[in-house]
Structure 1
Amino acid sequence: MQFGVKEAEETLARVFAPWIVQMGLKPISFDAGGGDFVLPENRTLVHIGGVICGQATASAADTCSVVALAALNGRFRICTTVDLTTHFVRPLKPGDVDIRVDVLSNGKRMAYTRVEMRAKGETKVAVTATSAFAYLED
């Protein structure tokens, strides 16, 4: 089965909790190694310090990883996050955030990803995350 941007949008709308859907994550493209996404500017994700909160970026990393895995698998497979390690390298000011998910390993029972986030148009990484997922179905 072909799993592209349209299927990713449908998966985001159908599978995830309403508050994740409200973040507005946008799948951009997929390739053999992972996928690209945008977290559009969303003032509800900005905390009192005037930057995008870490909880939002951690949630975006987790969610985009699951969708990138679905693209590589050709379908959404029910999975659970086993580990999510996030590093906040520099603050993200309000605005669009580019997200790249690289799938490091995608086995029968486990999958691993690495995520990098940058402010739109920037070259410096602001947030990184590594994740491990256990598949709960074949």
Structure 2
Amino acid sequence: MSHPLMDVISLGKQPPPCDSLIKIEMNQVSEGIAEAVWTPDEQMLNGNGVIMGGFISSAADVVIAYAISSLVNEKQTFASVNLTTTFHRPALPGQINVTAIVKKFGKTMSYVTAELMQNGKLVASAASSVLVQEVND
């Protein structure tokens, strides 16, 4: 038995509603690395005419969750402790490639980073500490 997010990848199950809401599609997840395509649209624009940072952080958080889900076992669950996003340049509607990598997978705490690239340029990077816990039956 695997984590439910891995069932989205391996069994083609429906992704969580948040994935569909922000229009993110997972491409590949394996051994602590997750890759996705995110396609923000005009509904995600802020008052400056660029994609709002909260949506960018959300896209990173979704892909980070898939990366960590590829390493937990059926007796573990996880939750973000923090998420720090750094914005390097404005993001616009259209395709953004998101890659998350588990840098450290610990017994109780893991560290995951993500990069969001649009048109070959880094628009944002994120880092998250993720609590890993045993599931109580």
Give the alignment's TM-score, normalised by structure 2: 0.81
Gaps of at least 5 residues in structure 1 are none
The verdict on how the C-alpha distance between 1:20 and 1:27 changes in structure 2, with shifts beyond 3 A counting, is: closer
Residue 48 (structure 1) shift: 2.2
Residue 97 (structure 1) shift: 0.8
* Cross-structure match for 2:83: 84
* Cross-structure match for 1:114: 113
Deviations 1:42-67 (A, max 9, x none): 22211121111100011111121011
How many percent identity over aligned positions? 26
Output the CA distance in 1 between the equivalents of 2:11 and 2:87: 26
Q: Hey, which of these two has a bigger chunk of strand by percent?
A: 2
Q: Give the aligned residue type for 1:86.
A: T
Give the alignment's TM-score, normalised by structure 1: 0.80
In the comparison of the two structures, how many residue pairs are matched? 132
The verdict on how the C-alpha distance between 1:106 and 1:24 changes in structure 2, with shifts beyond 3 A counting, is: same
- 2:72 paired with 1:73: yes
The question of whether the paired residues in 1 share the 8 Å contact of 2:31 and 2:70 is answered with no
Q: Hey, which of these two has a bigger chunk of helix by percent?
A: 1
- 2:127 paired with 1:124: no
Larger CA deviation: 122-131 vs 38-47: 38-47
Residue 130 (structure 1) shift: 0.7
SS in structure 1 opposite 2:26? strand
Moved over 4 A (4+): 74-77
Which structure has the larger Rg? 2
